[in-house]
Amino acid sequence: MKVSASILDCDFLHLGEEIRAVEAAGADCIHLDVMDGRFVRGISFGRPLGAAVARAAKLPLHSHLMVIEPEKQIDEYLPFSEVVVFHIETTEDPGRCIEQIRAGGVKPGISLNPDTPIAALKPWLPELDDVLVMSVFPGRGGQQFIPESLDRIRELERLIAGCGSRATISVDGGVKPENAGLLAEAGADILIAGSALFRSGDYARTIASLKSPPLTPGPLEP
């Protein structure tokens, strides 16, 4: 299991220190939420901050584009991203976006909202390196995990195996040590942690708990 630190919930007054702290604590990558105020209500940050994060970080950067018409912004994030993920709900031509990302030497990924059928991915699944399952509705940190996401992850794992895709399964939204065991059991490969990590007070302990959850998973709700 890998853990991606979602900096949307970090202390932006001490961004560089926060990045170095989660790196030292054992995070595997940095998750950058790009929000345009159209697909989701909030506006987060764009290319300049993403590039600054990349300069400060030693870990790979995964850029999650929660934006309408991602094909217009993809190129801005290619120079400093290992993975660029866009939402299937935001473009009329997912195949074009995948090709655009791949042509830039970056791994393409697609994300789905909780109410988008997993089967919507089938035409593009063989071309993807990552699928990001939203386990909350995107745009705001600190939401509660949607339990039905576990069945969606299991369905996705079956589809990936069935088509021979190399895609990893990332999960974003309400992820915490208490549900990490259930997510691992369902088939998740990467847990994206924001508020559960940055509000924990002990980054190393939280990351270790996410990577090696208890054998008996805890409850979904606090």
- Judge whether 172 counts as a catalytic residue: yes
Band the pLDDT of 141: cuts 50, 70, 90: low
Q: Residue 219 is which amino acid?
A: P
The answer to the question of whether 142 is labelled as a binding residue is: yes
- Residue 197: inside a domain, yes or no? yes
Count of domains for the chain: 1
What's the predicted TM-score (pTM) here?
0.93
Question: Which residues have a Cβ under 8 Å from the Cβ of 202 and sit 6 or more positions away?
Answer: none
- Which domain covers residue 110, as residue numbers? 2-211
Under the phi-then-psi rule, with left for phi > 0, alpha for psi from -120 to 50, and beta for the rest, what region is 69?
left
Q: Judge whether 216 lies within some domain.
A: no
In which band, very low, low, confident or very high, does the pLDDT at 99 lie, cut at 50, 70 and 90?
very high
Rounded to whole angstroms, the Cα distance separating 144 from 147 reads: 9
Active-site hit among 33, 36, 129, 130:
33
Contact 148, 182 (CB under 8 A): no
Cα torsion for 79, 84, 87, 91, to the nearest 10°?
40
Question: Is 130 in the active site?
Answer: no
Whether pLDDT at 221 is above 60: no
SS3 128: coil
Domain-located, residue 219: no
Task: Consult the annotation and say whether 33 binds a ligand.
Answer: yes
Q: Give the pLDDT confidence of 1-32 residue by residue, as tens digits.
A: 999 999 999 999 999 999 999 999 999 999 99
- Mean per-residue pLDDT, 57-75: 97
Instruction: Tell me, yes or no, whether 178 lies in a domain.
Output: yes
CB distance 32 to 221 below 8 Å: no
Is 42 within any annotated ligand binding site? no
Q: Rounded to an integer, what distance in angstroms lies between the CA atom of residue 46 and that of residue 33?
A: 9
Summarised one tens digit per residue, pLDDT across range 40-59 is 988 888 899 999 999 999 99
pLDDT digits (tens, 9 = 90+) for 144-178: 899 999 999 999 999 999 999 999 999 999 999 99
- Catalytic residue, chosen from 9, 28, 129, 172, is 172
Tell me if 104 is assigned to a ligand binding site: no
Q: What is the CATH number of the domain that holds 87?
A: 3.20.20.70
State pLDDT tens for residues 114-137: 999 999 999 999 999 999 999 999
14 is in an annotated binding site: no
